[in-house]
Amino acid sequence: MFKNLPFFPEAASAQAGQVDAVFFFLVAVTAFFSVLIAALVTIFAIKYKRKHDDEIGEPIHGSLVLELLWTVIPFAITMVMFGWGAKVFFDLTRPPIGATEIYIVGKQWMWKAQHMGGMREINELHIPVGQPIKLIMGSEDVIHSFYIPAFRVKSDVIPGRYNTMWFTATKAGTYHLFCAEYCGTKHSGMIGSIIAMEPAAFEAWMGGGKAEDSPVAAGAKLFQDLACITCHRTGAQGRGPILTNVFGHEVELQGGAKVIADEAYVRESILNPQAKVVNGFQPVMPTFQGLVTEEQLLQLIAYVRSLSQPGAAPAAEGTNSATPPQGKN
């Protein structure tokens, strides 16, 4: 619309259309009933305006038919809203298989992004158009929220767990990134840009960056530096389970329970190793709470993940490690 009077946000993702559609439906229903009630009330106020001091109204007590009508019809309309909204929600929260993963760490008051190819960004996120992107997000301190209005997506970023969200950009351009959960002094400064690029331009950008360790390589290095390798190898007298082909598969714990080894499981095992001890092993692993940052945790996870064979089932997108893998076909 007018350049300086934006009325409606740009729609730059494959998801935006769905969200706007259900929104317009609700706007229409809201407008209809608001106008209806406002009109009725105004008309009645005028038409039945008191003409003399002793006038009273007609003693009408009610009508069961009307009560049922204006209970059932709104209920039916709200159920349509519910179903439609739920469907959109399902689509927005279930990333497709094969989505490109990017790690996000939020901390007061900045966003850090880590591409799997090694590129790191602060307060910016470059992505290719037309490719589903899945963000795996953690916080170093308090609750934040990663919000891209142009894509109509948002997810809280919570310390102690991973939340994921996904989107597919449909238009090249630069879009607002906001933190949407109050997080202290510079909450309104915790903003940035999502830069969607045509695939060729994106490749160029990725290639032109500083050659940094990919998260997998960084994680492998940490695995050595933090001495994980001491126990998690063959010939270690069974001190720790070998981690090849663990990620993405079921693990049997002491006591018989089974969990899927996903991001949350690996993270917990590093920070609170006694919580889920693998069957057949002793609870001798020390905790690394306070010894690794959120980013380093993501790098270690990337490394452990790389030890699984190619073509293995992807991790569950939920943060509850008991959730079985989900994917959209």
Which parts of 183-202 interact with another protein (CB under 8 A)? Answer: 183-189
280-319 positions binding another protein, by CB under 8 A: 282-283, 289-290, 319
In the bound state with another protein, the residue whose beta carbon lies nearer, of 163 and 214, is: 163
Query: Could you say whether residue 87 binds another protein (CB under 8 A)?
Result: yes
Query: Could you say whether residue 124 binds another protein (CB under 8 A)?
Result: no
Candidate list 111, 127, 163, 248; residue touching another protein; CB under 8 A: 163
Candidate list 17, 67, 225, 250; residue touching another protein; CB under 8 A: 67
Dist CA 57 CA 219 (whole Å): 79
Query: Could you say whether residue 141 binds another protein (CB under 8 A)?
Result: yes
Which is it for the CA torsion 209, 215, 220, 221, positive or negative? positive
Candidate list 22, 217, 229, 312; residue touching another protein; CB under 8 A: 22
Query: Could you say whether residue 38 binds another protein (CB under 8 A)?
Result: yes
- Per the CB < 8 A criterion, the answer to whether 169 and 129 are in contact is yes
Give the SS3 label for residue 63.
coil
Q: Which one of 113-121, 203-211, 218-226, 267-275 is the stretch in contact with another protein (CB under 8 A)?
A: 267-275
Query: Could you say whether residue 37 binds another protein (CB under 8 A)?
Result: yes
Candidate list 97, 204, 242, 275; residue touching another protein; CB under 8 A: 275
- Closest contact distance (angstroms) between CB of 136 and another protein is 12
Dist CA 220 CA 304 (whole Å): 8
Candidate list 112, 161, 171, 221; residue touching another protein; CB under 8 A: 161
Q: What is the CA angle 272-281-233, rounded to 5?
A: 90
Query: Could you say whether residue 45 binds another protein (CB under 8 A)?
Result: yes
Candidate list 60, 65, 200, 211; residue touching another protein; CB under 8 A: 60
Dist CA 253 CA 118 (whole Å): 34
Query: Could you say whether residue 23 binds another protein (CB under 8 A)?
Result: yes
Long-range contacts made by residues 117-122, C-beta under 8 angstroms, separation at least 24?
Answer: 117/206, 117/214, 118/209, 118/211, 118/212, 118/213, 118/214, 118/215, 118/217, 119/206, 119/209, 119/212, 120/212, 122/192
Q: Which one of 64-72, 112-120, 214-222, 308-316 is the stretch in contact with another protein (CB under 8 A)?
A: 64-72
Candidate list 96, 133, 136, 152; residue touching another protein; CB under 8 A: 152
- Closest contact distance (angstroms) between CB of 8 and another protein is 7
- Closest contact distance (angstroms) between CB of 321 and another protein is 12
Query: Could you say whether residue 5 binds another protein (CB under 8 A)?
Result: yes
Interaxial angle between packed helices 294-306 and 215-225, expressed in degrees from 0 to 180 and rounded to the nearest 10: 100
Cα separation of the two ends of the chain: 38
Dist CA 236 CA 38 (whole Å): 77
Query: Could you say whether residue 18 binds another protein (CB under 8 A)?
Result: yes
For residue 206, how many C-alpha atoms fall within 13 Å in the half-sphere facing its CB? Answer: 17
